[in-house]
């Protein structure tokens, strides 16, 4: 049986670049003891599985600071405060790849990292994406665009070639939609 954890108080600790760190003090319903946990609060994010008119998937190779390495993933990023989710997905795709299109589908959302974050990642699928704009990278981005066939994407999923979990969940949802 699921029990609710009661938050007694929440204390903001530090503002980080992408997150606000806070400590929550809760009562564990199993034993009625108080526990202290850290939660990173931040904006939701979006990512896009963009399928081109040539039936390839637009992937990016991007440097990731946490693992000090490049990952192959789908384009995406944070939603600006007050920004519509679809507008954010369209902006991120255009900025990181120069692609855009009209046939957008919402695939769903998952928690970014429910262990210690309170935000979600929203997945989108774009069919018939076309190159329409120059790229506009942020100062901290180093991105290379890659096109993969649907078969290569499927094999990449089976072989754990995609190290970003948000890419994996979006591709699973997107590939299912394309079946």
d(CA 52, CA 78): 23
**For residue 171, what pLDDT is reported?**
98
pLDDT, tens digit, 9 for 90 and up, residues 23-78? 999 999 999 999 999 999 999 999 999 999 999 999 999 988 888 899 999 999 99
Average pLDDT, stretch 173-177? Answer: 96
Confidence of residue 8 (pLDDT cuts 50, 70, 90): confident
Confidence of residue 19 (pLDDT cuts 50, 70, 90): confident
Average pLDDT, stretch 17-23? Answer: 87
3-state secondary structure of 148: strand
Please name which of 46, 72, 70 lies closest in space to residue 126, comparing C-alpha atoms: 46
Note the pTM of the prediction, 2 decimals.
Answer: 0.90
Domains of the chain listed by start with CATH number = 6-41 (no CATH), 45-178 (3.90.79.10)
**For residue 2, what pLDDT is reported?**
62
d(CA 34, CA 132): 54
CB 62 within 8 A of CB 20: no
User: Which of 65-69, 83-87, 123-127, 157-161 shows the lowest per-residue confidence on average (mean pLDDT)?
Assistant: 65-69
């Amino acid at each position: 049986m699921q029990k609710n954890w009661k938050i007694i108080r929440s204390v903001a600790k530090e503002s980080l670049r992408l997150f606000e760190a806070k400590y929550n003090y809760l009562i564990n319903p199993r034993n009625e003891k108080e526990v202290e946990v850290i939660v990173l609060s931040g904006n939701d994010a979006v990512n896009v599985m963009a399928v081109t008119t040539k039936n390839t998937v637009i992937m990016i190779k991007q440097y990731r600071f946490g693992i000090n390495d490049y990952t192959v993933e789908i384009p995406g990023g944070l939603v600006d405060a007050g920004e519509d989710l679809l507008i954010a997905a369209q902006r991120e795709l255009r900025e990181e790849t120069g692609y855009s299109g009209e046939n957008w589908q919402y695939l769903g959302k998952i928690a970014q990292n429910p262990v210690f974050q309170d935000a979600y990642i929203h997945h989108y699928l774009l069919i018939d994406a076309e190159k329409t704009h120059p790229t506009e990278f942020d100062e901290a981005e180093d991105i290379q665009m890659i096109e993969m066939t649907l078969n290569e994407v499927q094999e990449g999923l089976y072989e754990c070639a995609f190290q970003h979990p948000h890419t994996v969940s979006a591709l699973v949802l997107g590939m299912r939609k394309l079946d």
